[in-house]
Amino acid sequence: MHCLRELNASQNEISGFLPVELTNLRHLVCLILGENQLTGGIPPEYGNFSALQYLSLRGNKLHGSIPAELGRLSTLRELQLGNNCLNGDIPAELFSLSHLTILFLDHNEITGGIPMNINCLGNLEFLFLNGNRLSGEIPACIGELKKLKWLNLSGNLLSGVVPPRIINLVSLKECDLRENVELDFGLLSIVLAQHAGSFKLWNLTYGTDSTSNADSVFVAQRCAETPIKI
């Protein structure tokens, strides 16, 4: 049992708290406990998994803050904590996980801002922070995530200017910024209008599919791989 490398107990209606004893499985690479009825908080001890690459706790009833100790999971490639009741700020320590390719924190009650060191996640491909209570501006350094394919920040309280260099993310396939407080597309809206052939543009801020209002545009899908320099 101590040599166990993968534990998948998802979709089993498991209740109770997350067992701290699992951290004794030092060789565990994959831990999937999603889509159950687990409650309580995420134990800080879960940062002690020395070999863990995949951690999914999504779709439970977990609450409390995300432990900063998860930032010690130096081999982690995928972290899924979405669809819970987690609150508090996103720990800046998570953004030291340089191997991370997937980060799902969607549909929780997370507050605060998007950490300014998000650009440290150089291998990130999927970032879902939607359906929370995040506030403040979108960090300009998000435009440095060159491998990012899917970005969803919708359904938060974000405001300020959308970083125009987000358009230079050549790997980006979908970007959802809908349903925030007051995002200013500024220069980005002008560039999008000039390069309409490279993007499929939807204005969904007010629930319509019109593309007539560039100030509240939603970039749904990139249609060309050619970088757009601004």
Q: Which of 56, 44, 104, 48 is nearest to 75 (CA)?
A: 48
Tens-digit pLDDT profile for residues 155-200: 999 999 888 888 778 888 888 888 998 888 777 666 666 555 555 4
User: For residue 31, what are the β-bridge partners?
Assistant: 7, 55
In this structure, the dihedral spanned by the alpha carbons of residues 109, 112, 118 and 123, taken in order and rounded to 10 degrees, is: 0
Neighbours of 198 (CB within 10 A): 17
Tens-digit pLDDT profile for residues 42-94: 999 999 999 999 999 999 999 999 999 999 999 999 999 999 999 999 999 99
What the block records as the tokens of 226 is 């050619």
Q: pTM to 2 decimals?
A: 0.85
Contact 132, 156 (CB under 8 A): yes
Output the pLDDT for position 225: 46
Output the pLDDT for position 209: 37
User: For residue 54, what are the β-bridge partners?
Assistant: 30, 78
Start-end of H helices in the chain: 186-194
In this structure, the dihedral spanned by the alpha carbons of residues 17, 18, 24 and 28, taken in order and rounded to 10 degrees, is: 160
Domains of the chain (ranges; CATH) run 6-182 (3.80.10.10)
Least confident of 3-7, 32-36, 102-106, 122-126: 3-7
Contact 39, 62 (CB under 8 A): yes
Q: Specify burial of residue 5 (Cβ count, 10 A radius: 0-12, 13-18, 19+).
A: exposed
What the block records as the tokens of 53 is 């690459």
